[in-house]
Amino acid sequence: MQKNLLQLDQSEWWILLIVLVSVGLTWFLYSIRNPAWNKRQNRILSAIRFIAIFFTLSLLLEPFINQTIIRTEKPIVAIAIDNSESVVARYTDSVAFKNKVQTLIEDLENEDIEVRTFDFGEQDSVRFDHPTTDLSLLQKKVADAMEGRNWSATILLSDGIFNNGSSPIYKNYPVPQFTIGLGDTIPPRDINISRVLYNRVSFKGNDTPIKVEVTQNGFEGREVIFNLTESGELLSQQKVRLNSIVQEIEFIIKSEEEGLRRIEVSTAVQNDEFVPENNSSSIFMEVIDGRQKVLIVASAPHPDIKAIRSALTSTDNYQVDLYVPSLDNEQPTDIYDVVIYHGAFAGRIRYQPKERPGLWYILGDKSSLNRLNNTVPFINIRRRGSQTDNVTASFNQTFSKFSLPENRRAFDDYPPISIPFGEYTLSGPTETLLFQRVGSIATRKPLFTFYDDGSQKGAILAGQNIWKWKLQESAINGNSDLFYNIVTKTVQYLSVKNDKQQFRFRSRGNNFSNLQSIFFDSEVYNDIYERIYGNRISLTITSADGESQDFEFIDSEFNSSFSIPSLQGGIYTYNASVKVGDKTYRDRGQFLVEEINREYLNLTADHNLLKNLSIRTGGAYTHYSNSDQVMDKIRARDFKSIVRSSESYFPLIQSRWMLLIVLLLFSTEWLLRKYWGGY
């Protein structure tokens, strides 16, 4: 069917235009009369020029070559190997194991099957040294590598034990899983310290219980000695008769010194025991002096003092001392975290604390409001005569310095207390916890207010007789939880010191495992406490044995954290330093690294897991001793190769050969013109 000019599409119009332009340019150059060459030579030069111009202009249209590639892809069988330490515990001859795997690979390749090998390592080198077993992660590694390939099956060699990640049973697999069971399903003769229960943080001076869970097989009725040691020193010892598969032993130790402790629980290896590695376990404990020192300074004995002391002593976190100037001849000399002035600014109270503790002022009938106004610049109470108000408490829903339990409605039941009657004015860094309620009207006058100017924290309760709050709450609810929370959280907030360090360097937690990296966070400030970056920070990590490692890094606005590779189990001290101008700042601390050896906690193979995995995916299970049979099962599936075709589009303008042809055409034309006597 012929087309007329009006029926040409856009590409055909462009080709026609290129032909016309090429003809026009060629005719313009070679239509001269009496050239230096004959007609035949003129036609040859015209043809070369036309082709060269046509090719050059055609490349501007970006033509391309459409290539169809057809390839045959063999079926791929992935061999996933559980190369954890629990496997080598059963198969100590890893060379024979590797030879067996190599034979399996060769047999598959002889069947015209491509083989890919995977294990837990980065290089898939099949070294039985991996400290944990995560079969689901191993299967994901296989699936990610096989995506888009002719993946036909997976052969999983494992003992079926996993101690990390999720169970591989509940994953979806697009191909059958042929499993080869390693290990022994009969429990070995073994004594195993399977778990140690203890508090990671212990308070100085307290008794600390340590519960040891022991599992055994084959040693029932035998007497075994369990030792608790620290730095080679025996802390406690118990002789235990093993009379059940699982039993618990409890030790009680005392924490005398602050700091980090590494304590080892162990028992001697029996002559006929299969695995000695699980006869000991290390635990790491931090001992802190968690008790805050609180001093109550009172103008006279009062029921409020007993109520406050009972709230603070309800936990082991506070040491509470009392000083009544009219009764005690000597002032306290200790350094306190919080000082509570009951009947504050009365004439007899002249105690001056040390090192700027948190201050809690509880006003009384004889409190001098002028002294309060002069001492605390953030509150001003202008009293009207000697009048007092009886007010109840109204909770401030927007209070943010600390949280209180959900039973805050108990405030509505608290009886009224007597406070100075007058005008209350707040300014500066203050926040009110409780407002005054007069009758049923909640006012915005402060009853219990906190302040923090960056160097001093304080609280002001405008009246006393809060013992009535505790008594009323206990009568209604059977407990005084809200009152105790008000007292303890007030003291807790006031005891937290404002940190004015210009260099802060902290480990991201106190406990790490030998399987994870150690992370640190840093903050550097200038003299006016503006955050600055680009500082070179030096870090030294020292083990309990005195071995040190040095690191350096530069912080930035986008990353002020730093990590080091995992360390062996133990207690480590870190020292960090940074130079800002001509000053050097330092920070230090400690952290624990717990040695995790999960592979020796359970050495009883779980072949049922492997069987269920094969059944769910349409594969087959084979014991390691009969692993040669897996080839018969693979052959029976008759996995096929697949033919894949793909198209590729190659722009000719990117072809060096096309550019070379155009250059060759123009060069040939120029040389012939010169040779035939032209210009």
Quick check: pTM over 0.75? no
Q: What are the C-alpha distances in Å from 671 to residues 34, 203, 413, 458, 555? A: 20, 98, 111, 99, 66
Q: What is the pLDDT of residue 8?
A: 52
Same domain assignment for residues 152 and 178: yes
Short-list 263, 266, 253, CA closest to 283: 263
Q: Give me the mean pLDDT over the 362-376 stretch.
A: 90
Q: What is the pLDDT of residue 42?
A: 80
Q: What is the pLDDT of residue 424?
A: 94
390 vs 653, more confident: 390
Using pLDDT thresholds of 50, 70 and 90, give the confidence band for residue 515: confident
Helix ranges (H only) for 365-520 are 369-375, 467-477, 481-495
Same domain assignment for residues 575 and 611: no
Same domain assignment for residues 586 and 659: no
Does the pLDDT at position 163 exceed 80?
Answer: no
Same domain assignment for residues 197 and 233: yes
CATH number at residue 195: 2.60.40.10
CA distance 547 to 543: 5
CA distance 167 to 182: 17
Please classify residue 652 by burial: count the beta carbons closer than 10 Å to its beta carbon, then call 0-12 exposed, 13-18 middle and 19+ buried.
middle
CA distance 152 to 113: 9
β-pairing, 64-73 vs 114-118, is unpaired
Does the pLDDT at position 542 exceed 90?
Answer: yes
CA distance 76 to 260: 53
Token readout for 309 is 């002391």
In a domain, 647, yes or no: no
Q: Give me the mean pLDDT over the 613-632 stretch.
A: 87
CB 292 within 8 A of CB 495: yes
In a domain, 646, yes or no: no
Residues 134, 610, 146, 103, Cα dihedral to 10°: 110
β-pairing, 536-543 vs 570-580, is antiparallel
Cα dihedral sign for 165, 167, 172, 177?
positive
In a domain, 538, yes or no: yes
Classify 368 as helix, strand or coil. Answer: coil
Using pLDDT thresholds of 50, 70 and 90, give the confidence band for residue 48: confident
Average pLDDT value for the chain: 84
Q: What is the pLDDT of residue 498?
A: 67
Residues ≥6 apart with Cβ < 8 Å to 136: 162, 165, 166, 167, 168, 171
Q: Give me the mean pLDDT over the 72-89 stretch.
A: 78
In a domain, 642, yes or no: no
Does the pLDDT at position 400 exceed 60?
Answer: yes
In a domain, 346, yes or no: yes
Radius of gyration of the chain (CA): 42
CA distance 484 to 314: 8
How does DSSP classify residue 516? S
DSSP 220-233: TT-EEEEEEEETTE
99 vs 619, more confident: 619
Which amino acid type is present at position 380?
N
315-335 pLDDT tens trace: 777 889 999 888 888 888 888
Does the pLDDT at position 122 exceed 70?
Answer: no
CB 483 within 8 A of CB 537: no
Q: Could you tell me where the beta strands, DSSP code E, fall in 335-473?
A: 338-342, 358-362, 379-395, 417-426, 430-438, 441-452, 457-461
Token readout for 596 is 């995790």
Last residue of a domain, one of 495, 528, 563: 495
What is the extent of the structural domain holding 573? 503-594
Last residue of a domain, one of 445, 479, 495: 495
304 vs 49, more confident: 304
Token readout for 414 is 């608290």
Ramachandran area for residue 160 (φ above 0: left; ψ -120 to 50: alpha; else beta):
left
1-37 pLDDT tens trace: 455 555 556 667 777 787 888 788 888 777 776 677 7
Q: What is the pLDDT of residue 125?
A: 57
- 323, β-bridge pairs: 297
CB 481 within 8 A of CB 490: no
Same domain assignment for residues 334 and 214: no
Q: What is the pLDDT of residue 228?
A: 93
Length of the chain: 679
Does the pLDDT at position 302 exceed 90?
Answer: yes
360 vs 273, more confident: 360
CA distance 213 to 619: 39
How many DSSP H helices and E strands does the chain contain?
Answer: 12, 32
Same domain assignment for residues 305 and 320: yes
Same domain assignment for residues 388 and 318: yes
How does DSSP classify residue 451? E
In a domain, 131, yes or no: yes
189-245 pLDDT tens trace: 888 888 888 877 777 777 888 999 998 888 888 999 999 998 889 999 999 999 998
CB atoms within 10 A of CB 3: 9
Cross-sheet strand order for the sheet of 207-217? 190-197, 207-217, 246-254
Same domain assignment for residues 43 and 97: no
CB 489 within 8 A of CB 404: yes
Same domain assignment for residues 56 and 94: no
Q: What is the pLDDT of residue 341?
A: 94
Using pLDDT thresholds of 50, 70 and 90, give the confidence band for residue 106: confident
In a domain, 643, yes or no: no
Residues ≥6 apart with Cβ < 8 Å to 653: 59, 60, 62, 63
In the chain, how many domains are there? 5
How does DSSP classify residue 603? -
Same domain assignment for residues 375 and 469: yes
Does the pLDDT at position 423 exceed 60?
Answer: yes
Q: Give me the mean pLDDT over the 122-131 stretch.
A: 59
Does the pLDDT at position 71 exceed 70?
Answer: yes
Last residue of a domain, one of 451, 468, 495: 495
553-568 pLDDT tens trace: 999 888 888 889 888 8
Residues 301, 304, 307, 309, Cα dihedral to 10°: -60
CA distance 474 to 465: 15
Does the pLDDT at position 309 exceed 80?
Answer: yes
Q: What is the pLDDT of residue 92?
A: 46
Helix (H) or strand (E) holding 119, with range, is none
pLDDT cut 70: percent of the chain above it: 91
In a domain, 644, yes or no: no
Same domain assignment for residues 148 and 268: no
Does the pLDDT at position 667 exceed 80?
Answer: yes
Using pLDDT thresholds of 50, 70 and 90, give the confidence band for residue 290: low
In the block, tokens 């303008």 appear at 653
DSSP 461-498: ES---THHHHHHHHHHHSS-HHHHHHHHHHHHHHHSPP
242-265 pLDDT tens trace: 999 889 999 998 887 888 888 899
Q: What are the C-alpha distances in Å from 336 to residues 250, 289, 491? A: 37, 14, 11
Same domain assignment for residues 132 and 179: yes
